[in-house]
């Protein structure tokens, strides 16, 4: 943990913005604190710093152990800089709608960072990123983004109780996450608190629509899979990918029939930038994401837009699976 992060932190227990008392047990030569504690001067709550990451959650708060496992297992697969593709960069700018040159010098929250695929992109384009994840995927993010000279600060925390000061951030993005939280509406309400006036919010979500009703096998299996262990869901996902991946790969090459992949119970990923091996790995990763997640909350984009307006956001736009908004200036 770098001490610059303290300027953005507040106690999640009492919401005090009084600077934490820092006890550094081990540090690097560059000042990065590897282990120690943060103590709130107001309520005396103590938070651990382990492996360079402040930890604001306890084990019983982590409902997404599968995500921690999958991002530790495939930590570099979706990192463009490491894997040699541009899929994360392309998706980040397409989904956020933000021009690359608009990130320079901005402080941005990556709400649900996983292994850091989008934090890596934002930092590479000049942003300072506060990367937050509830699971121990945050350890993978710390490793994959370490090249960015202290521009990525990692926190293990809940999006429903962030240890951040209100109105501190220039922008927030939340990609591939909100559908897996217990209350997406509450998450959005919480996130807007931390934006500066004029700050921008961009996030994607699972759209409520008829495609869901075509995925009969997936949703039949999901009656059971959220209650299984990570190892059992991994075994199931591996079995399904081994069974169906050759078929989805063939169908993906035929424009008139590739739509049939929506009926097949794996999250097939077939992109020409990826080798066949990486397509299989990405498919396994996303299939485990399908079946292992405890929550899958779908929303209609018009309802999402209405929720954003209700919490006072302006310049609200939405389309299936995506939403954008701006916090009004005073």
| 145 shares its domain with 7 | no
pLDDT exceeds cutoff 80 at 60: no
The span from the CA of 162 to the CA of 176, in Å, is 18
Domain count for the chain, please give it: 3
pLDDT band at 108 (very low <50, low <70, confident <90, very high): very high
Mean residue pLDDT of the chain comes to 95
pLDDT exceeds cutoff 80 at 57: yes
| 225 shares its domain with 113 | no
Distance of CA 13 to the CA centre of its chain: 23
Domain that holds residue 254: 211-292
| 265 shares its domain with 311 | no
How far CA 84 is from CA of 77, 121, 131, 147, in Å, comes to 9, 13, 22, 16
> pTM score, two decimals?
0.95
Average pLDDT over residues 57-76: 84
Average pLDDT over residues 139-146: 96
CB neighbours of residue 255 within 10 Å: 7
pLDDT band at 59 (very low <50, low <70, confident <90, very high): low
Could you give the percent of the chain with pLDDT greater than 70?
99
| 98 shares its domain with 220 | no
Among residues 162, 88, 91, 90, the alpha carbon closest in space to that of 131 is found at 162
pLDDT exceeds cutoff 80 at 211: no
DSSP secondary structure string, 269-301?
A: ---TTS-HHHHHHHHHHHHHHHHH-S----B-H
| 122 shares its domain with 269 | no
pLDDT tens, position by position, 183-195: 999 999 999 999 9
Residue with tokens 């495609």: 211
How far CA 81 is from CA of 147, 216, 283, in Å, comes to 11, 37, 20
DSSP secondary structure string, 236-257?
A: HHHHHHHHHHHHHHHHHT-TTT
| 175 shares its domain with 316 | yes
| 161 shares its domain with 247 | no
| 191 shares its domain with 74 | yes
pLDDT of residue 326: 98
pLDDT band at 61 (very low <50, low <70, confident <90, very high): low
| 96 shares its domain with 190 | yes
- The domain that holds 315 is classified in CATH as 3.40.50.150
| 157 shares its domain with 82 | yes
CA angle (130 as vertex; 127, 21 as ends), nearest 5: 130
Beta bridge partners of 153: 130
pLDDT tens, position by position, 126-141: 999 999 999 999 999 9
| 62 shares its domain with 185 | yes
Contact in structure between 180 and 209 (CB atoms under 8 Å): no
* Span between the terminal Cα atoms of the chain, in Å: 33
The span from the CA of 97 to the CA of 48, in Å, is 36
pLDDT of residue 65: 83
| 76 shares its domain with 199 | yes
Beta bridge partners of 132: 111, 155
pLDDT exceeds cutoff 70 at 123: yes
pLDDT band at 29 (very low <50, low <70, confident <90, very high): confident
């Amino acid at each position: 943990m770098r001490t610059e992060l303290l300027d953005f932190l507040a106690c999640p227990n009492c919401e005090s913005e009084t600077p934490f008392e820092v006890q550094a047990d081990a540090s690097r030569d560059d000042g990065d604190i590897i282990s120690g504690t943060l103590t709130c001067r107001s309520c005396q709550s103590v938070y651990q710093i382990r492996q360079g990451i402040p930890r604001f959650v306890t084990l019983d708060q982590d409902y997404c152990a599968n995500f921690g496992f999958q991002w530790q297992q495939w930590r570099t697969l979706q990192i463009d800089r490491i894997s040699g593709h541009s899929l994360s960069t392309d998706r980040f700018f397409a989904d956020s709608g933000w021009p690359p040159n608009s990130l320079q010098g901005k402080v941005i929250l990556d709400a649900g960072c996983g292994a850091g695929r989008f934090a890596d992109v934002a930092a590479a384009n000049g942003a300072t990123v506060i990367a937050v994840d509830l699971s121990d995927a945050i350890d993978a993010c710390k490793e994959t983004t370490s090249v960015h000279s202290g521009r990525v600060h990692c926190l293990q925390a809940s999006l429903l109780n962030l240890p951040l000061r209100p109105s501190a951030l220039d922008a927030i993005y939340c990609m591939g996450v909100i559908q897996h939280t217990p209350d997406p509406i509450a998450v959005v309400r919480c996130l807007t608190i931390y934006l500066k006036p004029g700050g921008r919010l961009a996030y994607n979500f699972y759209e409520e629509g008829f495609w869901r009703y075509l995925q009969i096998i997936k949703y039949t299996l999901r009656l059971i899979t959220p209650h299984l262990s990570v190892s059992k869901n991994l075994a199931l996902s591996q079995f399904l990918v081994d069974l169906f991946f050759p078929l989805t790969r063939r169908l993906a090459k035929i424009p008139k029939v590739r739509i049939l992949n929506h009926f097949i119970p794996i999250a097939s990923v077939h992109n020409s930038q990826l080798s066949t091996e990486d397509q299989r790995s990405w498919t396994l990763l996303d299939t485990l994401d399908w079946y292992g997640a405890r929550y899958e909350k779908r929303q209609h984009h018009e309802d999402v837009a209405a929720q954003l307006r209700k919490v006072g956001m302006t310049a609200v736009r939405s389309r299936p699976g995506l939403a954008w908004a701006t916090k009004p200036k005073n």
